[in-house]
Amino acid sequence: MLTTFLLIAGLVLLVAGAEFLVRGAAKLAVSFGISPLVVGLTVVAFGTSSPELAVSVGAAFAGEADIAVGNVVGSNIFNILFILGLSALVAPLFVAQQLIRLDVPIMIGISLLLPILGLDGRIGRLDGLLLFTGVIAYTVFLIRQSRRENRAVQDEYAQEYAVGPEEQTPLAWGKDAAYIAGGVVMLVLGSRWLVSGAVSVAEYFGVSELVIGLTIVAMGTSLPEVATSVVASLKGERDIAVGNVVGSNIFNILAVVGLTATVAPGGVPVALDALRFDIPVMIMVALACLPIFVTHHSISRWEGGLFLAYYLAYFTHIVLASAGSAAMPKLDSVVFALLLPLTALIALVMHRPAAEERA
């Protein structure tokens, strides 16, 4: 009963804390004149990833480092396959040009960098500093790019966060600061409860911390992304749905892994199973985004359905592997290696006629 309470209460606090943090920081930033585009691409996307940051750092200090790595890798896979898949089923998603030219290639590049840094079985403090420096550079670049932002985008984010001139008062700033402080407190407390409950579940069922991090913790800490992207899709703000996921994946690797490896004693160890299967799957999922996004600047419903089917296959692999099946991990590796490129090829073939008609 106590373990169940910790898991549920931890998840509730994480989701509520992320919402408080995002709303407070977004309004405060816009009130002080920070570009709404930068707020959308950083505060919203990064804020919804704050549960991953809280859980990973907490797990590293608690000596449960496999949960930290599994949380990030599992969240990135879940974000693309499940969240984008579900959002695209609700309504076909629009993919902005900037995401194709800049953000998706960055996501792919840092996904490839992660296993390189972890080849020795550990992401050390210097590696963590390198990654965390990357998120600072990425944010600074976005700020400079935002100076060329058009008025329509400004109005969109101003409407999204309901920030107007009448709200730019000391009382409003104090209220936003209180939201931020309350969100941080809930995130810290929620992460402790969730990690504690997840570790208890792993010990009870004899499941490894890596598996718990890839499943329960990853899906739980990704709930803010689920809510943000699905709601954005329902409201017709389908570019935000995609940008939130891509931005969150970038933040997860650069900031969550980077900061965790920097502050954790001895860095963060990387499990051999993660290097052999889960991290390559994360890379293939990131790579599959580019041709699908480029061909039609959208994610159709059938592509969303395929993404969901892939996540179901991946989740099934984890369950079978944790049960001790010797054949399924190899079989699933082959399936993922063949089907993901095949999906990209099908997308190219199916979208080519539409592109030719527009030409």
Dihedral in degrees, nearest 10, Cα atoms 338, 341, 345, 348: 160
Amino acid at 240: I
pLDDT of residue 357: 40
What CATH number does residue 140 fall under? 1.20.1420.30
pLDDT of residue 130: 94
This prediction's pTM: 0.74
Q: What Cα–Cα distance (Å) separates residue 199 from each residue in 36, 52, 192, 228, 337? A: 39, 16, 11, 28, 31
pLDDT of residue 161: 47
Picking from 271, 213, 224, 188, the residue whose alpha carbon sits closest to that of residue 79 is 224
pLDDT of residue 219: 75
pLDDT of residue 127: 93
The β-bridge partners of 268 are 123
pLDDT of residue 117: 93
* Residue in the block written with tokens 């480092």: 65
- Provide the number of structural domains found in the chain: 1
Q: Per-residue confidence of the chain (359 residues) as pLDDT tens digits?
A: 777 887 788 778 877 876 776 677 667 666 666 655 466 566 666 776 777 787 788 777 777 766 778 888 988 999 899 988 888 888 887 777 777 788 889 999 999 999 999 998 889 999 999 999 999 998 888 777 765 655 555 555 555 544 444 456 777 778 877 887 787 778 767 767 876 777 677 677 777 767 777 777 777 767 666 666 666 666 665 556 677 788 889 989 999 899 889 888 788 888 888 888 889 989 988 988 887 777 777 788 888 888 888 888 888 877 777 766 555 556 555 555 555 565 555 555 555 444 444 44
Residue-number span of the structural domain to which 50 is assigned: 2-358
Q: Tell me the Ramachandran region of residue 33: left when phi exceeds 0, alpha when psi lies from -120 to 50, beta otherwise.
A: left
Cα distance between residue 238 and residue 243, in whole Å = 9
pLDDT of residue 112: 94
Q: What Cα–Cα distance (Å) separates residue 311 from each residue in 38, 46, 78, 274? A: 30, 23, 7, 16
- Please, are residues 48 and 252 in contact by the beta-carbon 8 Å criterion? no
- Please, are residues 47 and 22 in contact by the beta-carbon 8 Å criterion? yes
